[in-house]
Amino acid sequence: MGNRPDELRALLDSVAKQEGGPVQVVVVGNGSPVPEVPEGVRTVELPENLGIPGGRNVGIEAFGPNGQDVDILLFLDDDGLLPGHDTAELCREAFTADPELGIISFRIADPDTGATQRRHVPRLRAADPMRSSRVTTFLGGANAVRTRVFADVGGLPDEFFYAHEETDLAWRALDAGWMIDYRSDMVLHHPTTAPSRHAVYHRMVARNRVWLARRNLPAPLVPVYLGVWMLLTLVRRPSRPALKAWFGGFREGWATPCGPRRPMRWRTVWRLTRLGRPPVI
């Protein structure tokens, strides 16, 4: 968005310090000019904000159709920073060692406290962020994806704009036979924040949750999944304005097109269940 030039420069410096082969970098200005960047960093400036998935898809295509000119793509938020110099090399080693591995989710840690928020551990059992494991989704601003995943299942859903686009891609990748790892030793420093800081948070979280289910779940699971999430939302007792925005987004999710529907196979439902997160929670 062009509003964090100092943080962006620190991130790019941390990428330049990665061990092993050089990392090619593209910075996408999502509806804004790109601040000054180091020599060798490519930039793409979009005339309008396409949202998080739309902007990342532009970054993917900068490396050829579906990113085919490279083997691995890292996605890093511009206010993050790689504290370790071995993260890129760890990614290369992980993908080489496990041909079924399609996506790696990094551990996000606050740079001052070292703490990892529960919401940044992409599994139900999130009490121990230092435990690496197979998971069923990943963190959008701190991950690595094998580009063959995009060739198999396509990119992120542009129409989501913000929220749940990673889970949509994760479910499609799992249905295609790929696996996802959460790696606690691959760290992105990122200040502790609340997702509700975004004005559109409650509406888009609800709308995209409905779209996610409509696009990807077998028909019998759609009402179960959405019913569970409605119950959880009410139990958390959001403010009246937040709840109003949430229900508005929920209705919007049913009333508007969600993109192509490709329900996952029942064996993928079973795979998600064995990984600890059946697609009703």
Q: What's 55-98 look like in SS3? A: HHHHHHHCCCHHHCCCCEEEEECCCCECCCCCHHHHHHHHHHHC
Rounded to 5 degrees, what are φ and ψ at 7?
Answer: -65, -40
pLDDT of 260-275, one tens digit each? Answer: 999 999 999 999 999 9
Rg of the chain, C-alpha, whole Å: 18
For residue 198, the model assigns a pLDDT of 55
CB atoms within 10 A of CB 19: 12
The pLDDT of residue 194 is 76
| Distance separating alpha carbons of residues 79 and 7, to the nearest angstrom | 5
pTM of the model: 0.96
**Any idea which residue has 């000054």 for tokens?**
36
Domains of the chain from N-terminus onward: 5-193 (3.90.550.10), 196-274 (no CATH)
Per DSSP, the three-state class of 159 is helix
State the CB neighbour count (10 A cutoff) for residue 121. Answer: 23
Q: At what angle do helices 266-274 and 165-175 cross, to 10 degrees?
A: 110
| Cα–Cα distance for residue pair 277/45, rounded to 1 Å | 38
Place of tokens 């304005």: 241
CA distance 144 to 84: 15
Residue 21, judged by CB atoms within 10 A of its CB (0-12, 13-18, 19+), counts as exposed
Number of residues that this document lists for the chain: 281
For residue 166 the two structure tokens come to 């990673």
Q: Which residues contact 223 (CB under 8 A, 6 or more apart)?
A: none
Task: Give the span between the Cα atoms of 15 and 10, in whole angstroms.
Answer: 9
Which residue is it, tokens 């920073």? 81
pLDDT at 37: 96
Tokens of 230: 């409605």
pLDDT at 41 (0 to 100):
97
Which residues have a Cβ under 8 Å from the Cβ of 130 and sit 6 or more positions away? Answer: 107, 184
The CB density around residue 8, as the number of other CB atoms within 10 Å, is 22
Torsion sign over Cα 63, 215, 259, 233: negative
pLDDT number for residue 195: 72
Identify the pLDDT of residue 281.
86
The tens digit of pLDDT for each residue in 210-238 reads 999 999 999 999 999 999 999 999 999 98
Mean pLDDT score, 105-128:
95
